[in-house]
Amino acid sequence: METRTPMEIRPVRLEGRHVRMEPLDLDRHWDGLRAIGLEPELWRFTSAKIGNEGDLRRYLEIALDEQHRGVSLPFATVHVASGRVAGCTRFGNIVREHQRVEIGWTWVGLEHQRTAVNTEAKYLMLRHAFETWGCMRVEFKTARTNLKSQNAMRRLGLVEEGTFRKWMFNDDGTIRDSVWFSCVDDEWSAMKARLEGFLAK
């Protein structure tokens, strides 16, 4: 019988050329996240509906509570060149016994969209999931209506698995269909090369 190495889930800093993924800390990151996180377009397709500072604060506090319970690991995404907070993301739905995690709850300030910021953040997180934690599977999902996010996931080389109809309620009570994508351990080597190619350009 194959012996599995337990996933050691703890806050970690992931360093890249364009971004630095810092464990979320409201004392350090709140001002930067608040400065970019109240743009309505960021929340147009998300299940969370953020309309003011209180909503944003609760959203981040929930992420930290999930970290305390061992099911999430949230990050502030920091733009290396400027030193400013560029966005937020997290590992969530962590299932140690099945070596499975989800990457999501991702948003990037408008200034840093269509740059290397999100690509490198995904690269660093996928590399950590597969090469440090030894994950078997990393999941992503997005709203059926969020075509921009779906196209970004296809560009990364993720495998589209299908649509879960009426998957959940959004915070505002509307119903969401979720499109699922994934990468599994056998596919990581090819995806890693693909992402490194993007980042080298």
Sketch the domain layout of the chain as residue ranges: 14-200
For residue range 167-178, what is the model confidence (pLDDT) as tens digits? 999 999 999 999
* Superfamily name with CATH number, domain 14-200: Gcn5-related N-acetyltransferase (GNAT) (3.40.630.30)
Confidence of residue 4 (pLDDT cuts 50, 70, 90): low
Q: Does 1 have pLDDT greater than 80?
A: no
pTM of the model: 0.95
CA gap 100, 139 in Å, rounded: 8
